[in-house]
Structure 1
């Protein structure tokens, strides 16, 4: 069953809104900068959404006081997506609207702040909102409350594949007849000192403290790690026949989903790339496509040595006809649980605009990779079928296939 994408909503380090994110990735200039919250750490920069908590609160309204930052970002992205789809939460059948918002970590900054209060010796200093704010499902819950959506509300947690998993789960709910509209995506706001220090200790972060905006460089020879980011991405999905019946504008179609596990290691990708390959092949089979049908790949492209090498090998092996490749993390950083949904939305925009954004900070891909990375400027291309890759700690691999 094909599913129509009728609405998009994005809040990213480029700013609020789909237009801001698309313009930024087409410019190909990194958004990373010094982060005061990370001052004093070995890696003191990130890709943060350029909206203060006060600004976010004004946009969300009265209920924002009880939300962690990741939930606020999700609510804003969901509102934009629903509006873009031409839907009115006052008028829809609320019991037939599902919400699926993935999140990898949850309210990490809240956990760190409130833990510090407890360490100072008085439990009365700990906020009564601590538990609901740190729970990773609360972004889905708050979006459901904000929209008045009373269908299934789910919160997949597959690390950096969470946003893509949410989109795949939403497609399954529509196919099973469990809902008529699905508001699906991912969110993350884990730019805390603890998270940054943990990723740094793993050797996962770029150490280019002298040039933060140039630090994330997927598929480059001198890549040295990813840049932490935050954000949210939401897609509105409907059965194609339902969208057409109400006269909705269809941005693209979600035609296939594939998921597979590495079953290899908690954090390292499997050297043979079998799980990622299985997910890609499953998405194509689900869509009734063959590898040669793929015109474009929106790569996971984290800018880490192992991930990029493994993903490049996967693309060369399964898609030897050299489809165009982009990797938004070069501009927007690695949004963890939000990344898969943000990149799914950007893939939809690539189909719609017939334009492939360049990989940020990449002048030329590593010669040994043999893949066709778009560099320096956007490329006009008649993209009819595109796949979006998302891989996460725990060996989670998710691939979404979209068609115009």
Structure 2
């Protein structure tokens, strides 16, 4: 088994373009959440989302214009370009030795939404003839593969909110066993379209005020968009190229609740974390920071902390735990990638990013999740959790390389 490292990362989010913009925002607790309005929704209960600024979105669309692409693919391409540049990859580093594993929960939501509106409201059959290549879930993975000439295996994991983490975990496993030398891995999502937004409203899991994970007055999540992509490769190949190694992926765990479609299962989430710890050869006490799934919904937060106690013990006061979703939003299939960027930032800066908007400890949860201000940590191992609808859990563990 080979050691697997991250040598490059890129991100596009409501916090701005670039991984460092995301890290800076999560460390400072500066939220990318802004007002959004969808004219097609007659009564819009929720008025905010972690959306790209109109100027940033227009600039991305102009730079990445292509008649068979839409935002979900554009975001992935921008993030991949940043990751590839940081890793110092050249044309010869791709080919058959390089795979792609980029997840997405929704795929081409913009084209799907426009077509439904046009067909439903007008009965028009004059729809976008390029709809299929835009809508398909694997569009982002395919475009990244074509952009760089990565001809190894190409995957698109569609496991709801764990899609990105699952995709990164799959890349880690395949590089570890020698199925590929390197992989461009992550997730991308562009769900801020009227139809998608409305059905999330109907599910009654979005906050009409502020996203407050783990807080007593929490009342739901904030939807977001963006992408995160990483260069995942063997330590040997990164060293041979003279690349800077950002960190090592040392553990990956995944399992299924095989229970309720929407309600999380603390026992299964804790089992997932334990699988990742075993894979990493670490004990719970070795982890100095956990980037929690932390959506801010009543059910998720109670269950996730229950799961953390099963792994780390009843007293969590010495463990830095936080959710960065109030900063970059819950970007669904891209969430795990944005959170992994944030976790790498925590590892590098030895600083746990804050859970902003936190007001009061909930007696049913009983933790202070690094509330509102970043907290100094001293650790060489961090954990990131993704607990998805459908009961699909993923845990990733990163270590300082050395």
Shared fold per TM-score greater than 0.5:
yes
Q: 2:136 maps to which residue? A: 135
Q: 1:291 maps to which residue? A: 284
* Alpha-carbon distance in structure 1 between the residues aligned to 2:268 and 2:255: 5
1:375 paired to 2:371: yes
Structure 2: any 5+ residue segments left out of the alignment? none
1:49 paired to 2:52: yes
> Displacement, 1:58?
3.5
* Alpha-carbon distance in structure 2 between the residues aligned to 1:364 and 1:139: 40
* Alpha-carbon distance in structure 2 between the residues aligned to 1:195 and 1:289: 40
Structure 1: any 5+ residue segments left out of the alignment? 209-214
Q: 1:358 maps to which residue? A: 354
Aligned to 1:382, the other structure's residue is in SS state coil
Alignment check: 8 A CA contact 2:217 2:359 kept: no
* Alpha-carbon distance in structure 2 between the residues aligned to 1:220 and 1:372: 8
1:397 paired to 2:397: no
> Displacement, 1:153?
1.0
> Displacement, 1:371?
3.3
* Alpha-carbon distance in structure 1 between the residues aligned to 2:193 and 2:30: 24
* Alpha-carbon distance in structure 2 between the residues aligned to 1:237 and 1:243: 9
Q: Residues 204-240 of structure 1: CA distance to partner in whole angstroms, max 9, x if unpaired?
A: 11122xxxxxx11111110000011101011111112
The 5-angstrom pairing of residues 140-179 of structure 1 reads: 140-179=141-180
Aligned to 2:67, the other structure's residue is in SS state helix
* Alpha-carbon distance in structure 2 between the residues aligned to 1:101 and 1:254: 17
> Displacement, 1:355?
1.2
> Displacement, 1:154?
0.5
Alignment check: 8 A CA contact 1:297 1:387 kept: yes
* Alpha-carbon distance in structure 1 between the residues aligned to 2:248 and 2:185: 14
Root-mean-square deviation (Å): 1.6
Q: 1:186 maps to which residue? A: 187
Q: Residues 163-219 of structure 1: CA distance to partner in whole angstroms, max 9, x if unpaired?
A: 0000001011112322111110001001122222211211111122xxxxxx11111
1:216 paired to 2:211: yes
Aligned to 1:91, the other structure's residue is in SS state helix
Aligned to 1:157, the other structure's residue is in SS state coil
> Displacement, 1:37?
2.9
> Displacement, 1:364?
4.4
Aligned to 1:177, the other structure's residue is in SS state coil
Give the count of matched residue pairs: 392
Please point out which of 295, 299, 305 is paired with 1:312: 305
Q: Residues 75-106 of structure 1: CA distance to partner in whole angstroms, max 9, x if unpaired?
A: 00010011111112x23242111110000011
> Displacement, 1:398?
0.2
* Alpha-carbon distance in structure 2 between the residues aligned to 1:87 and 1:58: 26
Aligned to 1:391, the other structure's residue is in SS state strand
Moved over 4 A (4+): none
Aligned to 2:96, the other structure's residue is in SS state helix
Aligned to 1:373, the other structure's residue is in SS state coil
Alignment check: 8 A CA contact 1:30 1:361 kept: no
